């Protein structure tokens, strides 16, 4: 018995522990107001009894008490809801920040991208969209209220005991039994709902497609509306039909709690009435006992806090699981964030030695790649779709770890080097679009806060000058387009912003600029302008450019062609053209189509 109590307590503690996120004042207020709230029904019953016994004499005091209980009772109710909001929102804030911190602190993205980790992150997000999902904050307060509920039960029981303690077992046991039954029914219902969560996700997905901008055109051209709606309805039924069947079961099962409430209550009420008449007892005590007997059942019946506790469990467990999974892969975080601005150091020599990499159980993308990136050179990487160009960039950026071989920077493994990342400025193909201000977007190119002038310079160099001139708030324009004063950038402008972010990192001391398809969203004129501009900005910096538009890589000091995960050819544009290999063939395909038009075919068989 003791063992079981301890287990229950430990279990409750898991939820209650979250209260530590709040300051002492809030917790004290929540507990004090909660206690007062649960004690009020008992006090009400007692004071009503007192009033009835004083009817013959001066009843001013009990009357005022009764009024005060009512007023204070409601004020406490409202106040405790407010205090609970403060606690819940604080706990959730801390919880969410912790989840995001865990996810961003892991050294490699590899781990974060894994399906099981993504699932856990989704569960731990504490952002409920469904009634079954509760936040850790709600769970903590729920756990507290479950405990307080027992206090309320004891208090009403005490009022009954004032009439006769013998009534207590006859009230408390059935009340707890009703509670147990009700919780059981809801738990089952909850589990049935959760069981179909996969169908739920799917029906949400198909439902959202009907109003999605990207799919809207295809939806109409291919006449998919009914097909998609039908899909959504099928998934919805697969999810909810068992739940609806259980609704009926819950209703039918209510006869049990009804009888378990009714029979003891009848017995107790009849006993109080007949004994009071027989013994000519106090009407005050009797009335208090009647009201309090009912209070016992009422105190036990609230299952809301229990549901909140149970509903928050998946999120809390998911965070614990994430801590366990992600703990092993923490990077050596920069000790002093202000160590940045590496100053005038020269760009390092980077070597990839026999680098291998594959995503999960899929085929290896890189199969023993050797490559040297020399200080200050302008290197271009080209290759077919899926040849491993973008993967190579991700490995260089340290977002993934090679599964074989190593990458070194001035002879030291980049994994062991504490400041490798501070030397990089990367524009990824799928760069981030922060819905913050333009200045914040640029400053997120490097840890810490930088000079505003530096930000403005980077913006100008990336070609954003024209755009900024048209925006009344300039660099402080928000890019949240749902705001009235927010700006809506085009794909090309976002790309320039991503570039500004990288240029900002260069100004803050980065020495290697990596550009993965930096002009994919730009038209020819902007593309040309961009490369002209970059020429002047990359003095004394190593640049690595990935592109499948070969016209853009011609100016590079060295071009590397990657095929089947290894370096197939390398040299300057002229050398490679002279060699007449794969690069020359690709280049000619693109140039030739331009020169002589759409109809000029390449001979059958020339293409893979």
Partner 1 sequence: MTYTRLWAHLFAMCLRREPLSSWLLIGLLTLNAVVFAGIGLALKSTVDAIVAGDAGSAVIWACTTAGAYALDQSINAVAYPIRAHITEKVGHFEIEPAIMRASAKLPEIDHLEHQEYLDRITAVRGKSWAVVGTVWSVVEAGSTVVRLALTLVILGNVSAWLLVMLLCIAVQIWLDRRGQSGQKRAELDLARHDRTQRHLFQLGVSGKAGKEIRTAEVGPNLIDRLTAASERVRTIRARGQLVSASWSVAGWMVFALGYTAVIGLVAVRVRDGQATAGDVMMAATIGALLREVVEKAVWTTADATGSVRVLEPYLWLKEYVEGRGADTAETPAPRRLNDGITLDALTFSYQGTCGAAIEDVSVHLPAGSVVAVVGEYGSGKSTLVKMLAKLHRPRSGRVLIDGTDLQDIDTESWRTAMSAAFQDFGRYQTTFAEAVGIGDLEHGTADARRAAVSAADAEVLLSRLPDGESTQLGSEFGGVDLSEGQWQKVALARSCMRPEPLLFVLDEPTASLDAPSENAVFESYTARAKSIAAATGAVTVIVSHRFSTVAGADLILVMKQGRLVESGSHGELLDAGGLYAELYRIHADSYVDNPLV
The interface with partner 1 within residues 450-469 (CB under 8 A) comprises: none
> Helix, strand, or coil here: 546?
strand
- In angstroms, the CA 215 to CA 111 distance is 31
Considering the complex, state which of residue 12 and residue 577 has its C-beta at the smaller distance from partner 1. 577
Tell which positions 524-543 bind partner 1, by CB under 8 A: 524-525, 528
Q: Are 196 and 240 contacting, i.e. CB atoms less than 8 angstroms apart?
A: yes
Element (H, E) at 54: none
The Cα 101–Cα 124 span in angstroms is 12
User: Which listed range, 28-36, 394-402, 408-416, 536-544, lies at the site for partner 1 (CB under 8 A)?
Assistant: 394-402
Binding residues for partner 1 restricted to 141-180, rule: CB under 8 A:
none
Given 93, 191, 342, 416, the residue binding partner 1 (CB under 8 A): 93
Site string for partner 1, 344-383 (x = CB under 8 A): -------------------x-------------------x
Strand order in the sheet with 558-563: 424-427, 512-516, 542-546, 378-383, 558-563, 566-571
User: Among residues 17 and 249, whose Cβ is nearest to partner 1?
Assistant: 249
CB of 219 to partner 1, least distance (A): 6
Please pick, from the candidates 341, 440, 557, 564, the single residue that binds partner 1 as defined by CB under 8 A.
Answer: 440
Smallest separation (angstroms) from partner 1 to the CB of 371 = 19
Indicate the residue among 12 and 531 with the shorter CB distance to partner 1.
531
Kindly give, in sequence order, each residue whose CB lies less than 8 Å from that of residue 275, ignoring residues fewer than 6 positions away. Answer: 164, 281
State which of positions 274-333 bind partner 1 (CB under 8 A): 274, 276-278, 280, 283, 286-287, 290-291, 294, 297-298, 301
Contact predicate 286/272, CB 8 Å: yes
Do 206 and 216 meet the contact criterion of CB atoms below 8 Å apart?
no
Q: Which among 305, 195, 186 is positioned nearest to 247, based on CA atoms?
A: 186
Please give the span between the terminal C-alpha atoms of the chain, in angstroms, as a whole number: 74
Phi, psi of 67 (to 5 degrees): -65, -40
Q: How far is CA 233 from CA 135, 226, 547, in A?
A: 29, 10, 44
Q: 250 and 15 in contact (C-beta within 8 Å)?
A: no
Q: Out of 2, 4, 343, 385, which residue is the one contacting partner 1 (CB under 8 A)?
A: 385
Quote the CA–CA distance of 106 and 329 in Å, as a whole number.
Answer: 6
Give the contact letters, 128-147, x = binds to partner 1 (CB under 8 A), - = no: -x------------------
Nearer to partner 1, 298 or 354 (CB): 298
Three-state DSSP class for 488?
coil
* Binding residue (CB under 8 A) for partner 1 from 23, 113, 476, 575: 113
Stretch that binds partner 1, among 157-165, 229-237, 350-358, 468-476 (CB under 8 A): 229-237
Are β-strands 350-358 and 364-373 bridged in parallel, bridged antiparallel, or unpaired?
Answer: antiparallel
Angle between helices 115-124 and 60-105 (to 10 degrees): 160
Mark residues 234-253: x for contact with partner 1 by CB under 8 A, - for none: --x---x--xx--xx-xx--
Region of 5-13, 66-74, 141-149, 561-569 interacting with partner 1 (CB under 8 A): 66-74
CA 243 to chain centre: 27
Considering only 32, 229, 460, 537, the residue that binds partner 1 (CB under 8 A) is: 229
Stretch that binds partner 1, among 4-12, 113-121, 404-412, 455-463 (CB under 8 A): 113-121
Q: Which stretches of 253-303 are DSSP H helices? A: 255-279, 283-301
Contact pick of 9, 17, 64, 320 for partner 1 (by CB under 8 A): 64
Residue 86 found at the interface with partner 1 (CB under 8 A)? yes
CB of 388 to partner 1, least distance (A): 11
When asked if residue 607 is in the footprint of partner 1 (CB under 8 A), the reply is: yes
Site for partner 1 contains 416 (CB under 8 A): no
Among 59, 537, 564, 584, binds partner 1 (CB under 8 A): 59
Q: Which helix (H) or strand (E) holds 41?
A: helix 24-53
Name residues contacting partner 1, limited to 461-520 (CB under 8 A).
480, 482-483, 490-492, 501, 505, 520
Which listed residue (187, 313, 356, 593) binds partner 1 by CB under 8 A?
A: 593
By the rule CB under 8 A, 336 interacts with partner 1: no
Which residues in 162-218 belong to E strands, given as ranges?
Answer: none
Task: Indicate whether 78 belongs to the interface with partner 1 (CB under 8 A).
Answer: yes
Q: Do the Cβ atoms of 373 and 544 come closer than 8 Å? A: yes
User: With CB under 8 A as the contact rule, which of the stretches 138-146, 307-315, 422-430, 455-463 interacts with partner 1?
Assistant: 422-430
CB of 10 to partner 1, least distance (A): 29
Q: Determine the Cα–Cα distance for residues 36 and 76; give it in Å rounded to an integer.
A: 7
């Amino acid at each position: 018995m003791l063992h079981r109590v301890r287990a229950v307590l430990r279990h409750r503690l898991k939820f209650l522990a979250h209260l530590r996120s709040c300051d002492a004042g809030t917790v004290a207020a929540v507990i004090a107001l909660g206690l007062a709230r649960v004690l009020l029904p008992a006090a009400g019953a007692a004071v009503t009894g007192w009033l009835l016994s004083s009817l013959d004499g001066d009843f001013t005091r009990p009357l005022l008490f009764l009024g005060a209980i009512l007023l204070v009772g409601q004020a406490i109710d409202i106040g405790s809801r407010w205090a609970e909001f403060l606690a819940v929102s604080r706990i959730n804030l801390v919880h969410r920040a912790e989840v995001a911190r865990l996810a961003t602190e892991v050294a490699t993205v590899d781990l974060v991208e894994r399906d099981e980790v993504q699932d856990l992150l989704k569960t731990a997000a504490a952002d409920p969209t469904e009634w079954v999902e509760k936040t850790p904050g709600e769970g903590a307060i729920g756990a507290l209220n479950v405990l307080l509920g027992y206090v309320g039960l004891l208090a009403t029981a005490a009022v009954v005991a004032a009439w006769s303690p013998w009534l207590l077992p006859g009230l408390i046991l059935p009340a707890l039994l009703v509670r147990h039954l009700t919780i059981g029914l809801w738990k089952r219902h909850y589990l049935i709902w959760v069981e179909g969560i996969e169908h739920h996700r799917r029906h949400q997905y198909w439902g959202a497609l009907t109003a999605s901008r990207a799919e809207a055109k295809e939806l109409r051209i291919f006449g998919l509306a009914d097909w998609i709606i039908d899909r959504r309805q099928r998934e919805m039924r697969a999810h909810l039909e068992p739940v609806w069947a259980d609704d009926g079961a819950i209703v039918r099962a209510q006869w049990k709690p009804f009888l378990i409430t009714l029979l003891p209550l009848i017995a107790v009420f009849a006993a109080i009435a007949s004994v009071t008449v027989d013994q000519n007892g106090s009407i005050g005590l009797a009335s208090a006992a009647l009201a309090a007997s009912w209070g016992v059942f009422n105190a036990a019946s609230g299952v809301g806090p229990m549901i909140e506790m149970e509903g928050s469990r998946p999120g809390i467990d998911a965070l614990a699981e994430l801590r366990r999974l992600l703990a092993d892969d923490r990077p050596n975080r920069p000790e002093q964030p202000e160590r940045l601005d590496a100053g005038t150091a020269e760009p390092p020599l980077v070597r990839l030695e026999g680098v291998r990499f594959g995503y999960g159980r899929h085929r290896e993308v890189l199969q023993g790649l050797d490559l040297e990136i020399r200080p200050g050179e302008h290197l271009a990487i080209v290759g077919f779709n899926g040849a491993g160009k973008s993967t190579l960039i991700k490995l260089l950026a340290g977002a993934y770890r090679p599964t074989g071989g190593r990458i070194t920077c001035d002879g030291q493994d980049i994994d062991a080097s504490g400041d490798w990342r501070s030397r990089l400025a990367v524009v990824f193909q799928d760069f981030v679009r922060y819905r913050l201000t333009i200045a914040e977007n640029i400053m997120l190119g490097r840890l810490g806060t930088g000079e505003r002038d530096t930000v403005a310079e980077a913006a100008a160099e990336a070609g954003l000058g024209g755009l900024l001139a048209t925006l009344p708030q300039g660099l402080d324009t928000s890019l949240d387009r749902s705001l009235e004063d927010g700006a809506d950038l085009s794909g090309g402008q976002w790309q320039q912003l991503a570039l500004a972010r990288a240029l900002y990192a260069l100004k803050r001391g980065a020495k290697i600029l990596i550009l993965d398809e930096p002009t994919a969203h730009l038209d020819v004129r902007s593309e040309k302008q961009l490369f002209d501009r970059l020429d002047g900005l990359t003095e004394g910096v190593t640049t690595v450019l990935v592109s499948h538009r070969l016209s853009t890589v011609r100016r590079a000091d060295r071009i590397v062609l990657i095929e089947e995960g290894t370096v197939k050819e390398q040299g300057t544009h002229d050398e490679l053209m002279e060699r007449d290999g794969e690069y020359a063939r690709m280049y000619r395909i693109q140039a030739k189509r331009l020169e002589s038009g759409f109809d000029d075919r390449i001979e059958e068989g020339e293409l893979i």
